[in-house]
Amino acid sequence: MADQQWVLSRRPEGRLHTDIFTLEEQPASEQPLAAGEVEVELRLFLCAPTMRNWMDPPGNNLYPSVPLGEAMLAPAGGRIIASNDPDRPVGADITCLGRWQSRFRLPGSETELVPSHLSLVDAMGQLGINPLTAWFGIHRIGVLHAGETLLVSGAAGSVGGVAVQLGRAIGARVVGIAGGPDKCRWLTETAGCDAAIDYQNEQLPEAIASACADGIDVFFDNVGGDTLDAAVDAMNRMGRIALCGQIAGYDGAAMRGPANMMRLIYGGITMRGFLVGDFAAEWETARADLKAQYESGAIVYRNDLREGFDQLPQHFGDLFQGHNNGTLLVMTDPGAKEARA
């Protein structure tokens, strides 16, 4: 089968539709590898809500904008098939910021080697950027302590599901917000939340006031919009808000900041956005802690593992319909499941 790529053929307007992508044959490169460069056969793709931002027109220089007619950017993993980097040998598995295409060239310094005892799924799933994001949001941004109250929006998602369990392990009272009874049941029965709020069937201000009767000390926000507004109104003095995502606005909705800014001021409340890359120097520390908690059973991790390069846009679109359960990974090669020998 010829090498292929999914290109962004037009920019989304409002709700994401998969016909904004076009499947094309990927042209072969005739140029030799530059010094330090590697060529990777991409085998696994992470679908993350923040990728929706990368489809917007240029203008916000804090995150990338995919040019029309180019392959979609995505966190990816694969195997090096050609190398001009002595530290990145042929046959090594790596993760990187790649594209929706069969092969990808980039500087070896922009890749992360996958240890030989890990599969690509492990490296991009339970030890990948989503659980790392949860770890740093809880430990470095929220600085959560035992006995405090933690509220997490998008709590049944890939990041939120780890965040609530980290909060429980610390000894906090944990409340999760999710959509639908099944997800709320998972939060209380499996993830160990003290309470779960179904935003689809409950009024957020009243439900938060009831579930967080003593107020909120740390709010881990993946959603923004009305959810952020309702949480701000219930924050305790000196509370901390970790801004991880704004999924309420990723599908084209206009977003705004909190309406009750005076509560932030008079309450001494901090609200800080962050990216997992801000803490790259501490990734191994976080991974070691996460690995220990997985092995002890303190944290249950869920991968939503799918197959089919030809179905990448449809799988990605499921994120915005709430049709994923955990970290959504798409394999192009079943060998990505297995640890590299």
Strands 235-243, 216-221: pairing is parallel
Query: What average pLDDT does range 90-115 have in this prediction?
Result: 97
Query: Three-state SS string across the chain, please?
Result: CCCEEEEECCCCCCCCCHHHEEEEECCCCCCCCCCCEEEEEEEEEEECHHHHHHHCCCCCCCCCCCCCCCECEEEEEEEEEEECCCCCCCCCEEEEEEECECEEEEEHHHEEECCCCCEHHHHHCCCCHHHHHHHHHHHHHCCCCCCCEEEECCCCCHHHHHHHHHHHHHCCEEEEEECCHHHHHHHHHCCCCCEEEECCCCCHHHHHHHHCCCCEEEEEECCCHHHHHHHHCCEEEEEEEEECCCHHHCCCCCCCCCCCHHHHHHHCCEEEECCHHHHHHHHHHHHHHHHHHHHHCCCCCCEEEEECHHHHHHHHHHHHHCCCCCEEEEECCHHHHCECC
Give the per-residue pLDDT at 247: 85
Looking at the domain 131-277, which fold is it?
Rossmann fold (3.40.50)
Q: What pLDDT is stored for residue 253 in this prediction?
A: 62
Q: Which CATH architecture has domain 4-125+301-337?
A: Alpha-Beta Complex (3.90)
* pLDDT for 340: 44
Same fold, 4-125+301-337 and 131-277: no
Residue 285 CA to its chain's centroid (Å): 19
Evaluate whether 172 touches 145 at the Cβ level (below 8 Å).
yes
| 1-15, 153-167, 297-311: the lowest-pLDDT one | 1-15
Residue in 277, 275, 311 with CA at minimum distance from that of residue 96: 277
Pick from 178, 148, 160: nearest CA to 240: 148
Measure Cα distances from 54 to 11, 31, 99 in Å: 10, 28, 12
CA end-to-end span of the chain, whole Å? 26
Please write the tens of the pLDDT for every residue from 191-245: 999 999 999 999 999 999 999 999 999 999 999 999 999 999 999 999 999 999 9
322 — pLDDT class (breaks 50, 70, 90):
confident
Q: What is the pLDDT of residue 341?
A: 36
Residue 244, φ and ψ in degrees, nearest 5? -95, -40
What backbone phi and psi angles, to 5 degrees, belong to 256?
-140, 165
133 in Cβ contact with 127 (< 8 Å): no
- pLDDT above 60: residue 1: no
Confidence (pLDDT) at 63: 86
For the cut 80, the answer to whether the pLDDT of residue 250 exceeds it is no
Average pLDDT over residues 250-261: 77
| pLDDT class of 254 with cuts at 50, 70, 90 | low
Per-residue pLDDT reduced to its tens digit, 168-180: 999 999 999 999 9
Q: Sorting pLDDT into bands at 50, 70 and 90, what band is 248? A: confident
Domain ranges of the chain: 4-125+301-337, 131-277
Q: Measured between alpha carbons, how far is 259 from 264 in angstroms, rounded to an integer?
A: 10
